A and B are shown apart, each in its own frame.
Chain A
């Protein structure tokens, strides 16, 4: 049988097609060289990555920002890397970047200059925000992930790195001189390293802080709020929020994260860390029932009595809305609550709040908590790991991170050089306290199963917050759950996925350092 395709016989069609394919295949080897020829001027592209180009116009006007950098150009990776070398080695290649669907558009805008600088094409793989974990896990387990790079909640790092789903990045970091030392230790160690290997580049670098409303609390405190001394302890915070709670007027004493799951755990970790709590001993036995753990939970339960109604269901969204809407006198939340509250388009409490140094607990330590955050990784099965690494290095470079902070979009920088930038501090109220605090940060280790453990404990703490069980019972139940989950993940056997020595340094970075106040 002879099939005719527009006058072309099947045989001649196949013959012509094969010849064309071979020719295309051979010339395809030269694609990077072709791709380079159409790339723009590097300096012009870099000049475009500026305050005027990236920071919202209304915020620039509001804070009289000119085009002065909000970062140190000498430490801005995109301005130090050799883009000609990048182009010569990787132009024409493709990177597939998995990202939450909600961030797809903004990522596309941020990716455009990277493509122009590097010649690397980036394909965004949008994943519904609620299913990033499941999607990533299922693709990792299949051994054939359809993406090269991924940005995700840092609490999952152990789950992804433990089974070997992530590519080691040490060699690329050395080759392309990623300024890892500029990251605060707490981010570098906890969002970057697993088992002594670099597997992630910190992305959204979070810390939890305490924020106070001046108009409500200054009358109670008897004068202007001092960042260190006005609320030196959690006992004082309990007292003033109880007073504030009695005032009425639609303003409750305090907002905090009290919902089931990891939200409640985060609030407990935040406070218990100030009591000197560590989650594990050197054998990875959980220490949830220690005296410091109990003190932390007692404090949380006392604060929850002064909290806004609905606190038992409050996650980040509910808490943020209550704080920015002026419904609470104090708030325990992330640092961006202190940045976004400055922005008139996001907040009803502009100029009426301040972020203070972490209140202390007798017998404890000053240990502001690095909680949640996100990191970015390259998959072990990536077809273009180096290109993926460069893309992530671009997205996390200090200039872009500084401008994220100026835009108050919730993506926080973790670079020392950015957090000490005086120009940026003018547009980010909590930054001075935040930066000082990071030198003493506490952090839970990113272990396989840690996310599940924090969920299980949070469910118990939530029951304690709502009076269904005592705090002691909550921690005991949590301890039992943690032991079971850790056993399931291989802890306590000779096949433990990570050694305590590998995570210990990241759990508290403030040892032996002088207090910032």
Chain B
């Protein structure tokens, strides 16, 4: 600051001031200066992330009723570990999220591989991106209409002769899960697609050309050259998408409400239901904390292993 002060005072034009020694800050101020620079960002982060997080951890140690907070220690956590609905929600999140993530990755990669060399890709990339740009709640309502209320998909299947009567999408565990998977894949495959296209376009084409000249087929080139080179990007993209899927809420809230019988209740919906429908705020906080810990651990492990093995 001292060095630029003269320029600042003269309207940006640095003028020599030979007779004036540069102003020096006190050692304490110099030490504090970096912290002062990051303080606004830190305060912002604390207000919107750290404080609520710490508050959730604190609240998870209490039974919160309308009359007040009663100390519970780790009781909420031990109850959670014995709660069938908690484990079911965890399982549902893994099943729905896992299948959805695999499908999205495969579809996005396939589409990306066959289209990234297209010179027109920049023009029609936006078409692929469109589902991602729609409001998630609106998308969920449309799929809800399609599957349930409006019977659109049933009518199409009936018309095609694939089914003989209307399909009760919420009447079966796997059909209900399928509706969520379809909605999620439709909306979020473009996210992975666009990343994969960018990764493929960023690769050194000479390596691919060399392989081709050596007689490698396109599957061999993809499997042995493109895919390994994309590994870090794939891992990061899948991790981001995985974290997002772990918190899947909108589609569940709008399309199934966890039906049938909790078979589509994800962790986020379980926490919401405990907190805002059953009013077990301490219990919901404990579930949130557990979910956060699990997400961080899994994400860290995946990223660490992927990059570590990449180095090897």
* Interface, chain A (partner B; CB < 8 A): 131, 133-134, 137, 140-141, 159, 162-163, 165, 248, 250, 259-261, 309-313, 315, 318, 321-322, 448, 451-452, 455-456, 459, 462-466, 468-469, 488-489
A170 CB to nearest B CB, Å: 23
Q: Interface size of B by Cβ–Cβ distance < 8 Å? A: 34
Contacting A at CB under 8 A, from B243-271, are 255-263
Q: In the complex, A312→B278 CA distance in Å? A: 20
Instruction: Give chain A residues whose Cβ lies under 8 Å from the Cβ of B263.
Output: 466, 468
User: Is there an interface contact between A163 and B67, defined as CB atoms closer than 8 Å?
Assistant: yes
Q: In the complex, A451→B279 CA distance in Å? A: 10
Q: In the complex, A260→B85 CA distance in Å? A: 13
- Chain B residue at minimal CB-CB distance from A477: B84
Give the secondary structure class of A's interface: helix
Given A309-B167, A309-B169, A455-B278, decide whether A488 and B63 contact each other with a Cβ distance below 8 A.
Answer: yes
Instruction: Give chain A residues whose Cβ lies under 8 Å from the Cβ of B151.
Output: 250, 309
Instruction: Give chain A residues whose Cβ lies under 8 Å from the Cβ of B170.
Output: 309-313, 466
- Which of B165, B260, B276 has a CB less than 8 Å from the CB of A313? B260
Instruction: Give chain B residues whose Cβ lies under 8 Å from the Cβ of A250.
Output: 151
User: Is there an interface contact between A318 and B148, defined as CB atoms closer than 8 Å?
Assistant: yes
- Which of A134, A159, A321 has a CB less than 8 Å from the CB of B276? A134
- Chain B residue at minimal CB-CB distance from A489: B65
User: Is there an interface contact between A259 and B261, defined as CB atoms closer than 8 Å?
Assistant: no
Given A309-B166, A312-B171, decide whether A466 and B257 contact each other with a Cβ distance below 8 A.
Answer: no
Can you list 26 residue pairs at the A/B interface with Cβ under 8 Å?
Answer: A133-B276, A134-B276, A137-B279, A162-B66, A250-B151, A260-B262, A309-B169, A309-B170, A310-B169, A312-B170, A313-B170, A313-B176, A313-B260, A318-B148, A322-B149, A452-B278, A462-B260, A462-B261, A462-B262, A465-B261, A466-B171, A466-B263, A468-B261, A468-B263, A469-B261, A488-B63
Instruction: Give chain B residues whose Cβ lies under 8 Å from the Cβ of A322.
Output: 149
- Which of A451, A463, A488 has a CB less than 8 Å from the CB of B65? A488
Instruction: Give chain A residues whose Cβ lies under 8 Å from the Cβ of B166.
Output: 309
- Which of A141, A312, A448 has a CB less than 8 Å from the CB of B261? A312
- Chain A residue at minimal CB-CB distance from B65: A488
Given A309-B170, A310-B168, A455-B278, decide whether A260 and B261 contact each other with a Cβ distance below 8 A.
Answer: yes
Instruction: Give chain A residues whose Cβ lies under 8 Å from the Cβ of B9.
Output: none
- Chain B residue at minimal CB-CB distance from A466: B260
Instruction: Give chain B residues whose Cβ lies under 8 Å from the Cβ of A455.
Output: 273, 277-278
- The residue among B173, B176, B262, B273 with the most chain A CB atoms within 10 A of its own CB is B262
Instruction: Give chain A residues whose Cβ lies under 8 Å from the Cβ of B285.
Output: none
A449 CB to nearest B CB, Å: 9
Instruction: Give chain A residues whose Cβ lies under 8 Å from the Cβ of B93.
Output: none
Q: In the complex, A469→B168 CA distance in Å? A: 19
A481 CB to nearest B CB, Å: 10
User: Is there an interface contact between B148 and A310, defined as CB atoms closer than 8 Å?
Assistant: yes
Instruction: Give chain A residues whose Cβ lies under 8 Å from the Cβ of B278.
Output: 452, 455-456
User: Is there an interface contact between B257 and A261, defined as CB atoms closer than 8 Å?
Assistant: yes
Contacting A at CB under 8 A, from B163-221, are 165-173, 176
A362 CB to nearest B CB, Å: 29
User: Is there an interface contact between B276 and A312, defined as CB atoms closer than 8 Å?
Assistant: no
- Which of B63, B85, B259, B280 has a CB less than 8 Å from the CB of A462? B259
Given A134-B276, A448-B66, A456-B278, decide whether A309 and B171 contact each other with a Cβ distance below 8 A.
Answer: yes
Q: In the complex, A141→B64 CA distance in Å? A: 11
User: Is there an interface contact between A321 and B259, defined as CB atoms closer than 8 Å?
Assistant: no
User: Is there an interface contact between A466 and B149, defined as CB atoms closer than 8 Å?
Assistant: no
Contact of B154 with A by CB under 8 A: yes
Contacting A at CB under 8 A, from B42-72, are 63, 65-67
Q: In the complex, A484→B166 CA distance in Å? A: 41
- Chain B residue at minimal CB-CB distance from A458: B277
Instruction: Give chain B residues whose Cβ lies under 8 Å from the Cβ of A162.
Output: 66
User: Is there an interface contact between A261 and B277, defined as CB atoms closer than 8 Å?
Assistant: yes
- Apart from the given pairs A165-B66, A311-B170, 8 other A-B contacts in the complex at a CB distance below 8 Å: A248-B165, A260-B257, A310-B169, A312-B171, A313-B255, A313-B260, A318-B148, A464-B261
Contacting A at CB under 8 A, from B137-171, are 148-149, 151, 154, 165-171
Q: In the complex, A321→B279 CA distance in Å? A: 29
Q: In the complex, A489→B63 CA distance in Å? A: 11
Q: In the complex, A4→B280 CA distance in Å? A: 57
- Chain B residue at minimal CB-CB distance from A462: B261
User: Is there an interface contact between B259 and A312, defined as CB atoms closer than 8 Å?
Assistant: yes
- The residue among B169, B255, B279 with the most chain A CB atoms within 10 A of its own CB is B279
User: Is there an interface contact between A468 and B276, defined as CB atoms closer than 8 Å?
Assistant: no
User: Is there an interface contact between A313 and B257, defined as CB atoms closer than 8 Å?
Assistant: yes
Instruction: Give chain B residues whose Cβ lies under 8 Å from the Cβ of A312.
Output: 168, 170-171, 259-261
User: Is there an interface contact between B258 and A260, defined as CB atoms closer than 8 Å?
Assistant: yes
Instruction: Give chain A residues whose Cβ lies under 8 Å from the Cβ of B168.
Output: 309-312
- Chain B residue at minimal CB-CB distance from A310: B148
Q: In the complex, A465→B172 CA distance in Å? A: 11
User: Is there an interface contact between B277 and A315, defined as CB atoms closer than 8 Å?
Assistant: no
User: Is there an interface contact between A321 and B149, defined as CB atoms closer than 8 Å?
Assistant: yes
Closest 7 CB pairs of A and B: A463-B261, A466-B260, A309-B168, A310-B148, A313-B170, A312-B260, A313-B259
Q: In the complex, A315→B66 CA distance in Å? A: 27
User: Is there an interface contact between B66 and A141, defined as CB atoms closer than 8 Å?
Assistant: yes
Instruction: Give chain A residues whose Cβ lies under 8 Å from the Cβ of B148.
Output: 309-310, 313, 318
A379 CB to nearest B CB, Å: 14
Instruction: Give chain A residues whose Cβ lies under 8 Å from the Cβ of B154.
Output: 309
Q: In the complex, A260→B169 CA distance in Å? A: 15
- Chain B residue at minimal CB-CB distance from A318: B149
